[in-house]
Each structure stands twice: as structure tokens, then as C-alpha cells.
Amino acid sequence: MSIFKNIHTAERATEQAVSDNPVFMRQLFAYEQAAKEINGTVLEIGSGEGYGIKLLAPHSSRYIAIDKFKPVNTDNFKSVEFIQMEVPWLNGLEDQFFDVVICFQLIEHIQDDKTLLKEIYRVLKPGGKLLLTTPNKTMSLTRNPYHMREYTTEEFRKLISFYFQPDKIYFGGVYGDEQIMQYQEKNKASIAKWKKWDIFNLEENLPGKWFQVPYDILNRMNRNKLKGQHDELVSKISTANYYLKEMDGTQLDFYCRAVK
């Protein structure tokens, strides 16, 4: 059982659904990278179902997780402190307290992204680091109505550099190998078939809240269709198919390390 409430939307990939495997492994890859470089007191903002905690908590002396949804089962994670709250404000957390702040696939959901970064900077110790991932708008195949915005490479660089000194920032990206890009192309082609029926361009014009249910239904149907047609490709993708290097504009996700 997941330790946090599972939100069954196509927006959140889950390890239980094989059709989600490429997306889930892409997200898990970032946690594997973070596990190599964390220590001390760690704060994770937007812990979701908690699959990242399994990888990160053993490397910390204290682990605090924040999410807006209440945990379902924390029996196997008794050393993890959970705070139920909505961000951007990190109310009740001390200044200069954390060695590491993890913020994976969250900032795109936050209306006031600048306040979130300001708060993260506040709670980090001098020399502490932020590890942050978010999708690259240029590589997104469709609009995600759960996202307040996505960033281009230059927008993302400008945003992070406003709060952290540029010489203390690593602007990395999550990339996929040939197998991942093959999946991306098949996904793109499949989505294009759905889009041709959107003669009124509802994807772009509907308010986000109204588009969430159609997005969930169509995205889930599309992932299941891809699995049915390309089962071996979808099911065999693992974190080993992703890699990290400096961003060049073609990264699937940004992977940023910023030191205070």
C-alpha cells in the first residue's frame, strides 16, 4: 500500500499501472539521482504517494515531507515526519533549517511560484541545496490542465537565477535514450489522432478545471492504447533508460541543483 493517498488521475503516474511505466520511471529516475547527493535534514515538498521517500529517507538524519493530502499508511515510515499543508508558504518551518529541499514535479502546479522559491531559500541553511524538477514546456506533447504553467529553458533559467547565484546553480536536464524517444514519438503520433477531433480547440480554450476530466479520460485511454500496441516497449522501460546532463533545450524535464 502507498503511504500517501493515491490520487487516481492520469496526471499522477503510479507504479501500479503498467501503462504509466515510462512516466513513472522518468519521475523515479530523479529520485535515484537525488539519493546520491542528499544528507542531513531533508524537506520534501509535494511528496505525493511517497515512492521517493523510500529512496531518500535512508540517506537523511531527519526527513520531513509536505503534501496537501493526508497520509493513508505511515507504518513503514515511522521516522518520516509528515505535514499536511498547501504551499507556497512554508508556515511553521524555521529559517535556515534544512540541508536539502526536494521539490520534484511540483512548482508547475503552484500559482505563486516565486513565493515558493523565496520560501525554499528562507528555510535552507547557508550551503544547503535545492533539488528541483519540472517539465520542459518545449517537449510537452499536450496541455496539462493541472499545471498553472510550464517553463521554456530560458524562462526556467531566469526564474531560478533570480533567487540563487548563477555560479551556484547546476541547470541539468533529464533525457531519454533511443527507447524513450521511440516511446515519445509513438505517444506524439497517438495524441495527434485524438487532437484531430478537437475541431473547436477545446484543449487550449477550456478553463483548466473544465478540461481536467476530459484530460484524465483521454490520457488514460491513450496510455492504455500505447501499452496494448507496444507492450514490450512500454513495460520494459526502466530508470536506466534515462540520463542526466546539462540542459540544452531538448530535455524532457529540468533537473536543477541550486546552492544557497
| Cα–Cα dist 69/49, whole Å | 9
Give the Å distances, CA to CA, from 80 to 28, 50, 76, 123, 223. Answer: 19, 10, 9, 18, 33
Q: What is the pLDDT of residues 100-145, one digit of tens each?
A: 999 999 999 999 999 999 999 999 999 999 999 999 999 999 989 9
Q: Is residue 4 domain-resident? A: no
Q: Is residue 10 domain-resident? A: no
| Cα–Cα dist 70/60, whole Å | 22
Smallest Cα–Cα separation from 65: which of 29, 89, 101, 118? 101
Q: Domain containing 73: what range?
A: 18-259
Amino acid at 260: K
Q: Is residue 9 domain-resident? A: no
The whole-number pLDDT of residue 73 equals: 61
Residue 5: is its pLDDT beyond 60? Answer: no
- Going by the DSSP 8-state scheme, the letter that residue 197 receives in this structure is T
Residue 27: is its pLDDT beyond 60? Answer: yes
Q: Is residue 104 domain-resident? A: yes
Instruction: Tell me the angle at which helices 113-123 and 153-163 cross, rounded to the nearest 10 degrees.
Output: 40
The whole-number pLDDT of residue 209 equals: 85
Residue 9: is its pLDDT beyond 80? Answer: no
CATH number of the domain bearing residue 217: 3.40.50.150
Total number of domains constituting the chain: 1
Give the pLDDT mean for 17-40: 92
Q: Is residue 87 domain-resident? A: yes
